[in-house]
């Protein structure tokens, strides 16, 4: 798998970012191309879009995707088989851990090892648990708004890996 970094400028700092990805086993190339600033990741082709405010800070770009360089490289390079995506899509139809537990008891493996299945179920249950614990709090929202932290508040629980997987699932559905 390769990552293509698209940017409307090509400063040296992106080469440091490329180097981090390649040190973590993900080959990548940098291409200069006009982009829209809100785009970061699309499929197919594993393209990473870097907005202008981040051109000069590879660590800032990496921190979007994980707490360490290794985590970031793994999240940016998330790659799944069709069987994994189909299972994740099935699980994401449910909104409670109990429903997912019931599915797990009755799930017949299709092209995945029991260990892979167990990992996927645990990961998806973690996403459900996180969503349930992070219900909207009006007072917290207003405090964030008045303190200038609104963007951070809105994005604090966003899992890049989860969003990437959703995009891959949508891509799978279009085929």
Last residue of a domain, one of 42, 59, 76: 76
Bridge partner residues of 108 (DSSP)? none
Query: Are 17 and 42 contained in the same domain?
Result: yes
3-state secondary structure of 17: helix
What's the pLDDT score for residue 39? 42
Ranges of residues in the chain with a pLDDT under 70 are 1-14, 16-17, 20, 24-26, 31-81, 134-142, 144-145, 147-164, 175
Which pLDDT belongs to residue 136?
Answer: 60
Decide which of 76, 107, 141 is a domain's last residue: 76
Would you state the pLDDT for residue 140? Answer: 67
53-60 long-range CB contacts below 8 Å, 24 or more apart? 55/7, 55/9, 55/11, 55/13, 55/14, 56/11, 56/13, 57/13, 58/13, 58/14, 58/16, 58/17, 58/20
Whether residues 102 and 153 fall in one domain:
yes
Are 101 and 167 in a shared domain? yes
What pLDDT does 60 receive?
61
DSSP-derived pairing of the beta strands 47-49 and 28-32: unpaired
* Whole-number pLDDT of residue 40: 42
Total count of domains within the chain: 2
Domain containing residue 55: 3-76
Same domain, 45 and 72: yes
Task: Tell me the per-residue pLDDT of 4-54, one tens digit each, with 9 for 90 and over.
Answer: 666 555 555 567 667 767 776 667 777 665 544 434 443 334 455 555 555
Task: Say whether both 40 and 99 belong to one domain.
Answer: no
Task: Give the pLDDT of residue 43.
Answer: 35
Q: To the nearest 10°, the Cα dihedral for 173, 34, 64, 174?
A: 0
Q: What pLDDT was estimated at residue 95?
A: 85
The reported pLDDT for the residue numbered 99 is 94
Distance (Å, whole) CA 83 – CA 105: 18
Strand order in the sheet with 28-32: 28-32, 3-7, 47-49, 41-42
């Amino acid at each position: 798998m390769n990552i293509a970094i698209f940017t409307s400028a090509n400063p040296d700092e992106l080469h440091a970012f490329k180097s981090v990805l390649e040190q973590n086993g993900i080959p990548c190339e940098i291409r200069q191309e006009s982009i829209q600033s809100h785009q970061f990741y699309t499929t197919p082709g594993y393209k990473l879009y870097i907005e202008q405010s981040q051109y000069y800070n590879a660590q800032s770009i990496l921190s979007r995707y994980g707490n360490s360089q290794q985590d970031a490289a793994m999240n940016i390079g998330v790659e799944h088989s069709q069987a994994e995506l189909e299972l994740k899509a099935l699980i994401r139809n449910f909104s409670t851990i109990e429903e997912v537990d019931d599915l797990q008891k009755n799930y017949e493996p299709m092209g995945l090892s029991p260990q892979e299945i167990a990992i996927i179920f645990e990961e998806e249950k973690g996403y459900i648990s996180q969503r349930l614990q992070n219900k909207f709090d009006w007072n917290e929202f207003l405090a964030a708004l008045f303190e200038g932290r609104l963007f951070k508040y809105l994005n604090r629980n966003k899992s890049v890996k989860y969003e990437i997987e959703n995009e891959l699932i949508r891509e799978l559905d279009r085929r």
